[in-house]
Amino acid sequence: MGTVRIGYKASAEQFDPATLLDYTKQAEAAGLEIVATSDHFQPWRHHGGHSPAALPWLGAATVATDRALLGTSVLTPTLRYEPAIVAQAFATLGCLAPGRVFLGVGTGEAMNETPATGAEFPGRKERRLRMAEAIELIRRLWREERVDFEGEYYNTSQATIYDRPAEEVPIYVAASGPLAAKLAGRVGDGFICTSGKDPQLYLDLLEKVKEGAEQAGRDHAQIRHMIEIKVSYDRDRQKAFDNCNFWAPLALTPEQKEGIEDPIEMERVADENVGQAHTRFIVSDDPDEVVEKIGTYLDLGFDDLLLHGPGPDQARFIAQFAEDVLPKLRERAG
């Protein structure tokens, strides 16, 4: 495990771009070292949801912050975006904030890709193969002067990225299953997953990351392990529970939400299960309890911890967490 960094999940599904930027500045001022934003075309909820575009928002964040590592958790570089456009955008971000940008990628969700493109959402295998090819193309565009690429899914002709940072932007690969985790190990600078699931899943995923790295002749210890930790901390215990309700879609099973492309339908299904909303979160008014539960992810070997607070008042969450929990968490992280 590398040096532990603690960061903030800037939830674009819940806040407008200017408000999210204000929370980002507060998170950095509170000592959080990473800010990762989601990249959705549509939010989980039609009523009260938001969905600012990640790429221009990150450009604004490079100017609004001084130290924080900025990136996506996660962007899908395969359907809404051509990989070459992602390569160009993140090279530009890397120039604006040298050494402070990462590209987090994943295989996507139907509600973000199908409405924006009109294309049928591919199955899991094709999505994974597309992501592997996209990563290969992005890296070639960052490393070579002119790229002629003929892949199964993507093509470029004499393509050049003219503005590139001196330090290549690291690519973090998200995975919730074994094959994507092996891909993260083979080609990723980092691996991303989310908290609140069966503990055995994390052991299995991390083992697959290691396996993929070893098969590619890579040192798996050099791969950062990032996890979005869903934590609803508030000094008012009831508020901590109530704050989870907006995020009821996270408590749905993959089978419940896989085919849903409409935020109105997602909202309806989620609200039928709103009593389960808190189950994906660490919910507490006790700082020691929060540190103990986050500590299980430290023990697994995660070294980049992204705090995802679910409440509508993020200023309150950041302030209370920074004062009550963060010093104890840093001590626990060593």
Q: Which residues are catalytic?
A: 40, 109
In terms of residues, how long is the chain? 334
CA 295, CA 309: separation in Å to the nearest integer? 17
Q: Which stretches within 177-286 are classed as H helix? A: 178-187, 199-215, 237-242, 254-257, 263-272
H or E stretch at 94:
helix 83-96
Position 85, amino acid: I
Position 5, amino acid: R
C-alpha dihedral sign at 45, 256, 188, 82: negative
Strand partners, 308: 230
Q: Closest Cα to residue 75, out of 116, 101, 109?
A: 109
CA 278, CA 77: separation in Å to the nearest integer? 31
DSSP state of 32: -
Position 170, amino acid: P
Pairing of strands 304-308, 224-233: parallel
Q: Closest Cα to residue 257, out of 245, 270, 274, 272?
A: 270
